[in-house]
Amino acid sequence: MHEYGLCEGVLDTVRQRAGGRQVAAIRVRFGVRHAVVEESLAQAFSFVAAGTEAAGAVVELVTVPATIDCRDCGRHAETTDVLALCPRCGGDDVTISGGDEMTLESITYHEPASPPSALSPPTAVSPPTAVSPPSAPSASAAAERT
């Protein structure tokens, strides 16, 4: 499951943003080309986040479609199928673009006085942050180190 590798990068970014605050939930956007399955993502994140301030966080996945352009009929449309045919003419002479995004869209935190296991209402949401692949340091991590 490639979701484990993706979750390692997401967790690194979450922990940098959280600054020790307990994380209640995260929302991530992955392009359809990453072929991420929400249940697998949640399971992988639960595993990699164990013992951190993000342990037990709810994971919400937003799948970003790709764009398909048909050379036969000129149709321009969105698709969630990376092996797509033209939705108008059924042709396979298509170009697929986009759908490769990886963004940490939001982080929701527990109340500061609540223990990590408490089900308290969320207090704050962080703005979207691009997530770098696990093999490369994120741009936000580089900026925070300077």
Residues 116, 129: Cα–Cα separation, whole Å:
23
Share of the chain above pLDDT 90, in %: 71
pTM over 0.75, yes/no: no
State the pLDDT confidence band at 2, using cuts at 50, 70 and 90.
confident
For the chain, which domains are there? 3-63+100-139 (3.30.2320.50)
> Which bin fits 20, alpha (ψ -120 to 50), beta or left (φ > 0)?
left
Q: By C-alpha distance, which of 57, 50, 48 is closest to 22?
A: 57
At residue 83, the pLDDT reads 84
State the pLDDT confidence band at 140, using cuts at 50, 70 and 90.
very low
Instruction: Give the least confident one: 25-34, 109-118, 136-145.
Output: 136-145
pLDDT (tens digit per residue) in 45-85 = 999 999 999 999 999 999 999 999 999 999 999 999 878 89
pLDDT (tens digit per residue) in 3-32 = 999 999 999 999 999 999 999 999 999 999
At residue 84, the pLDDT reads 86
Output phi, psi for 30, to 5 deg: -125, 135
